[in-house]
Amino acid sequence: MQWLITDEFRQDLKKLVALLTNSLDLQWINDVIDHYEWDEDEDEEFETDYLVSEDELITFRQVEILGDILQPEFMLQIDWNESVDELKLGIADLLLNNFGVNHVSFPNMRHYDNRTTVSNDGVLADFNRELKKQGFNLANVISGDDNLWIIVYPTTAHNEVEYLINQLGSELE
């Protein structure tokens, strides 16, 4: 089945990127989005591993494209089993690289032991609560795999980010 990335999908992705950074120089990523081509070999692999409908296949493609384009500059991909320290470092990098924030407060790391992972109950909520105090939201883009796809964006953009993520075939957690 031939599937083309629509202009609307590309425009929504550009709008999302603009909310994940305060950089005004986005021409390079807009060029990436404009020239992105889907590798149909990934479809064949997905179709043989899972029995899926055409709609499920399109959603799979959309989510994979979202991850391909946003990572690593605008999204942190982290295994659900990674330590809380790795989450902290990744969020700090996103904030520094995309918003120029070089100092951010995180939850008290002493509340977590060395066995605490990013998937433990309350970890993402703790980090989100601290970031909200500083004008940012943290969210996991549901990818359907064992990784968390973490994005950070201004709190004021939450409704628009959530809407665009839905338009692009995924959901926020």
Element housing 136 (H / E): strand 136-141
So what's the pLDDT on residue 1?
45
Question: How many CB atoms neighbour CB 66 within 10 A?
Answer: 24
DSSP bridge pairs for 78: 148
So what's the pLDDT on residue 44?
55
**DSSP, residue by residue, 23-88:** -S--HHHHHHHHH----HHHHHHHHHHS---HHHHHHHHHHHHHHHHHTTTT-EEEETTSBHHHHH
Distance between CA atoms of residues 34 and 14, nearest Å: 9
So what's the pLDDT on residue 45?
55
Residue 137 sits at φ, ψ, to 5 deg, of -110, 150
Torsion angle of alpha carbons 146, 3, 49, 74, nearest 10°?
-10
So what's the pLDDT on residue 144?
82
So what's the pLDDT on residue 50?
58
Tens digit of pLDDT per residue, the chain (173 long)?
A: 445 788 999 999 999 999 999 999 999 999 999 999 876 665 555 555 555 677 777 788 888 999 999 999 999 999 999 999 999 999 999 999 999 999 999 999 999 988 899 999 999 999 999 999 999 999 999 988 889 999 999 999 999 999 999 999 899 98
